[in-house]
Structure 1
Amino acid sequence: MAEYYWDNQIEYLRNTRWLYYNDDYLEFLVERVWRIKQAVHMIDYGCGFGYMGLKLLPLLPVGSRYTGLDQGSELIKHAKELFAHTSYQAEFIECDIETVQVERAYDIAISHAFLLHMSEPRMILEKMIGSVVDGGRVICFEPHWIANMSSYVLSGIEQSSFMQLGVLQKLYEQDASRSGKDGNIGMKIPAMLSQLGVRGVECRVSDRVNFLDQHMAEQDKHTLYNAFIEEGLGAMPDNRNEINAQLMERGLTAEEANNQYEAEVSFAKTFNENEYMTYAPNMKITSGIVNR
């Protein structure tokens, strides 16, 4: 069996997920937007190491349960180890989500930064809808990459010098057309859910804005800077020829690919721990109710 890519990305996932949300905003969603007043059984598609379970279970009514589905054996192993140190009711199932059959037994089905990696995200949404009881809720936390790319400010630097939004939009759209995997899916999910019969659909945006402040505590600054780099913000790109070849395979012209490479190099050379930078991930949070 081929090695599962995300099994080797556990440290990256652990070091960067916190960039997306403030805890009080998740609490606001649970209590004021979704109005979850009774214990629920939640199923997480592409759960990874159970990140969303760890974030949401403390906010949900006592007695709530969590089931995580993921293909990664190491991710599932790590999730079980993490949850063993909690009192939460949780189970984890290693499976291929594209083929697994899930019974209609859950109150909430969620995904987090998962559908963008699926070649047939609509099919996964259908599975999510099919797994919740009547009156259950589907919640998708998914990105809109081009909004993400437009949401950096490196103090004193014109953004256009290191972020080619037009080229990136072309790249993302051609990726989606070729493979079905869509980094801009977050803004498309409201329409997709409505078309699949989900009602009361609404979309929010993650609240967190990360600010690398030269007056913050040194350890906090170091942690945030390293998280930015792991997230790919200001990281030095690899070999020019290899990167350019990959970009051209994805649909850019030779000139566009080289300009994109130069922009990433410029960003990497400019950005360091002693700069001011503001970054908003802009995750889109779409939810709706399944009424059959």
Structure 2
Amino acid sequence: MTNDLAPQKTRAAAWFRELRDQIVAAFEGLEDSHTTGPLSDMAPGRFEVTETKRKSDDGSDAGGGLMSVMRGGRVFEKVGVNVSTVYGTLAPRAQAAMAARKGIPGMDADPRFWASGISLVAHMQNPHAPAVHMNTRMFWTPQAWWFGGGSDLNPCIEYAEDTAHFHATQKAHLDPHGTDLYPRLKAWADEYFYIPHRNRARGVGGIFMDDHNTGDWEADFALPQDIGRAFLPAFVPLIEKRRATPWDDADKDTQLVHRGLYAEYNLVYDRGTKFGLETGHDANAVLMSLPPMAKWV
């Protein structure tokens, strides 16, 4: 049995909120600095922030968070940066899924949980600028606790140098935790972000982990922090490089078809989407990852 970990929960939730604030500021800065190239004559985009609330079956408070969404900006067509801290008891279906995945005994007797994290998905105006996903989270039950998360790049028009930069930045942030970690988390991402019914990956990969618990909370917490710290230096330079590239209707069509793959993955396979809906979190916040427009051929 694990203890309540109240101080650790507070620290983790505060870190996810701090990372959210840094990313929101950086993304609005990209909007402000886009002064040449396509759509630069538009007003810079700004995040709309909505407080989300989760209620338990008996109507009592069960946590919530902030949903921050920018739509129709100069650079970002749609981007969501959500943070949440939720708690309560897992529904029977979620209990069964968690017990099977983690091998946790006793969850049916004590199905309490606590979860906090940040989730981000960005869909870009310019087809030459890659979409991206990132999340990190902490999960607790009376039986166990663990961390998860990662980030992956989803370009519709691929540039080898962009992929190389994204992966090299991830590796640099993970290597202090052990040089074997990046290859393992990269392989995990390649397997996880795969669309079986299309026989292809949804993007060019990144890093991913789940169920991370070595028994050393401090060391384990340091890892999702570095996954979070890697995100802006891995992603922002790519947008600064590509946001002014001219595009045509064929480029936009390529982007919309690729977004269809992204939507299929998130609705059919993504664990976070399933967990959010099964635990009663705000559906708009859970589904903010879906693109504003997509196309199927």
Given the two structures, how large is their TM-score scaled by the length of structure 2?
A: 0.29
Given the two structures, how large is their TM-score scaled by the length of structure 1?
A: 0.30
**Higher RCO structure, 1 or 2 (CA under 8 Å, sep 6+):** 1
**Counting strand residues as a fraction of each chain, which structure ranks higher?**
2
